[in-house]
Amino acid sequence: MSDNIAKKSLRFDHKAMNAMFTIFVDSSDTDPAEAEEAANSAFATLDKLAHLLTRYSTTSDVAHANTLQGGDSHALSPETFECLTLAAELAAETGRAFDPAAGTLTDFWKSNPIASLPGEPIETPEWRIAWEAHRVGEFSIDPQTHELFCISPGSKLDLGAIGKGFALDEMARILEGTHSISRALLSAGGSTVLALDAPLLKPGWKIGFGGETTLPYLLLSRAAISSSGVHNQPTHLVDPRTGHVVTRTKLVRAYAPRAAEADALSTAFFVMERTEMEDYCASHMEHVALLTTENDKGVPTSFDIIGNTSALLWQEREDSGQTTGIT
């Protein structure tokens, strides 16, 4: 973050969900004490969601769900119910390219990284067991009672591809709905960013893209953008439709009105072929996929945008003004 952004925005940080969450509040018309109170309130909500949505705490909603046997049920908290309901909707809309119940596959590949090396997929007996468990496992949610039912065991819930975005949406609701702070930007580790209203007299929050310094800035307002990639984790993203690790190497980004949508869709777009992204975005005009275009030296120079290009506002890199990064 540049000195300029420090002067123009109030910044608050909080570690949760294995990421640093940051809230930037435009200081032009906001009292610092009020902004701090609002940020602390938002972070309290974040901590609650971090506990409810994690797989790795034995008392969380998700952990309880993953112990259910066929015919068992678990009463979800309102927050987990809302997150899972949205996740189920996005799973259906993406043809399960995003799948909140792909934890069995993820666990297998984390334990068998050698099998994910480039080349033909290695379908070992252990992989077949994991794939069959994922394929036959099924959950359902009762919209009236908020109960989660295990119809058949095998799948494991894993909200890692939507949880941070969902948390940003809930934090924004606290900032704006409870504390009347609307000129704010929220970030989850730089991989998902949610903008409320733009800073005073600005068209949007200026978003940079990691080390890709030749790309233009995105001016973000009342929208979110998220990125997905493997980075140094070659088994991080699995195609739930095939059970195999995705071989794509470059980052894929998704733009959406809500952070939870952008978070989940960046994973779905990473898994999808280009034609699938085109088909999806053609029927979901509020969602956009962004791929980077490189020159002959492998330097990213522009975005290959799939979807409604008019939804995005850009600024060329001609100044060193206020920026917030996204990886």
Residue 306 pLDDT more than 60?
A: yes
- pLDDT at residue 231, as a whole number: 61
- pLDDT at residue 316, as a whole number: 86
Strands 324-325, 205-208: parallel, antiparallel or unpaired by DSSP? parallel
Query: Please, which pLDDT band fits residue 286 given cuts at 50, 70 and 90?
Result: very high
Query: Please, which pLDDT band fits residue 326 given cuts at 50, 70 and 90?
Result: low
- pLDDT at residue 324, as a whole number: 66
- pLDDT at residue 37, as a whole number: 98
Strand runs (DSSP E) across 198-239, as ranges?
Answer: 205-208, 217-220, 223-228, 238-239
Residue 2 pLDDT more than 80?
A: no
- pLDDT at residue 212, as a whole number: 63
> What one-character DSSP code corresponds to residue 156?
B
Q: What is the pLDDT of residues 121-146, one digit of tens each?
A: 678 899 999 999 999 999 999 999 99
Say how far apart CA 327 and CA 229 lie, in whole Å: 9
Question: Letter for the amino acid at 202?
Answer: K
Residue 7 pLDDT more than 70?
A: no
State the average pLDDT over residues 105-111. Answer: 91
| Percent of all residues in the chain with a pLDDT value above 70, rounded to a whole number | 89
Q: Hey, what domains does the chain have and what are their CATH numbers?
A: 61-152 (1.10.3980)
Q: Which of 74-83, 139-148, 186-195, 205-214 has the lowest mean pLDDT?
A: 205-214
Q: 290, 254 in Cβ contact below 8 A?
A: yes
Q: What is the CB neighbour count within 10 angstroms for residue 260?
A: 29
Say how far apart CA 115 and CA 121 lie, in whole Å: 7
Q: What is the pLDDT of residues 66-79, one digit of tens each?
A: 999 999 999 999 99
Distances in Å between the Cα of 208 and the Cα atoms of 1, 62, 144 are 10, 34, 43
- pLDDT at residue 122, as a whole number: 72
pTM of the model: 0.92
Q: What is the pLDDT of residues 9-46, one digit of tens each?
A: 999 999 999 999 999 999 998 999 999 999 999 999 99
Say how far apart CA 199 and CA 203 lie, in whole Å: 8
Residue 203 pLDDT more than 80?
A: yes
Residue 188 pLDDT more than 50?
A: yes
- pLDDT at residue 295, as a whole number: 80
Beta-carbon contacts of residue 53 (< 8 Å; ≥ 6 apart): 17, 60, 61, 62, 79, 80, 83, 159, 163, 166, 167
* Residue reference for tokens 């809230």: 23
Say how far apart CA 208 and CA 2 lie, in whole Å: 12
> What one-character DSSP code corresponds to residue 15?
E
Query: Please, which pLDDT band fits residue 88 given cuts at 50, 70 and 90?
Result: very high
Say how far apart CA 217 and CA 315 lie, in whole Å: 5
Strands 19-26, 9-16: parallel, antiparallel or unpaired by DSSP? antiparallel
Query: Please, which pLDDT band fits residue 298 given cuts at 50, 70 and 90?
Result: confident
Q: What is the pLDDT of residues 260-280, one digit of tens each?
A: 999 999 999 999 999 999 999
Crossing angle between the packed helical segments 78-93 and 259-271, to the nearest 10 degrees: 40
298 phi/psi in degrees, rounded to 5: 80, 15
Q: 101, 139 in Cβ contact below 8 A?
A: yes
- pLDDT at residue 112, as a whole number: 82
| Three-state SS annotation for 70-98 | CCCEEECCHHHHHHHHHHHHHHHHCCCCC
- pLDDT at residue 118, as a whole number: 54
Q: What is the pLDDT of residues 213-229, one digit of tens each?
A: 678 899 999 999 999 98
Strand runs (DSSP E) across 232-276, as ranges?
Answer: 238-239, 244-245, 252-256
State the average pLDDT over residues 224-236. Answer: 73
Distances in Å between the Cα of 80 and the Cα atoms of 117, 122, 129, 146, 319 are 35, 35, 29, 9, 43
Beta-carbon contacts of residue 105 (< 8 Å; ≥ 6 apart): 130, 131, 134, 238, 240, 243
When the pLDDT of each residue in the chain is averaged and rounded to a whole number, the result is 90
Which has more pLDDT, 317 or 161?
A: 161
- pLDDT at residue 138, as a whole number: 97
